[in-house]
Structure 1
Amino acid sequence: MQDFFQNISRYPRYFITFTLGIFFFLFERLKPLLNRPVTAIALVSLLFSVFAFTFFTLRAMLGLNPV
């Protein structure tokens, strides 16, 4: 039974490592786009719009504030 709990305790560490790896990979792929002002503005606008879309969609789905 102790092996079971020891195995379960590894999952959060795996999840954090996996998530950070994805973010680091995406940042390295998008970093060259930040060199030019036009692409940097487009990238920041895209990230902001994705965040806003997700925020408002979850807010409407959870019924926190009627839209």
Structure 2
Amino acid sequence: MFDGFWDNVSRYPRYLVTIILGVAINAFAPLAPLFKNPASAIALISLLFGVIFFTVFTLRAMLGLGTV
């Protein structure tokens, strides 16, 4: 009944990593051509940093981790 149980359970982390990488690749693949043009690359990088900073500042304010 439990033949290969731990072998089967040990496959789940690898499956999880595969799913996460697949989603990331499919999410960012359409953005790759934008890096060929310097103006759009700068705009895309600025947008990325803006989203990251907005998220960090919002979470810090919501959690009360420091002065904003």
Could you say whether these structures have the same fold, taking a TM-score greater than 0.5 normalized by the shorter chain as the test?
A: yes
TM (norm. structure 1) is 0.73
TM (norm. structure 2) is 0.72
SS at match of 2:49: helix
d(CA) in 1 for partners of 2:64, 2:9: 34
Q: How many residues align?
A: 66
d(CA) in 2 for partners of 1:28, 1:54: 23
Structure that is richer in helix per residue: 1
Rg (Cα) greater in structure: 2
Change (3 A) 1:6 1:59: farther
Unaligned runs of 5+ in 2: none
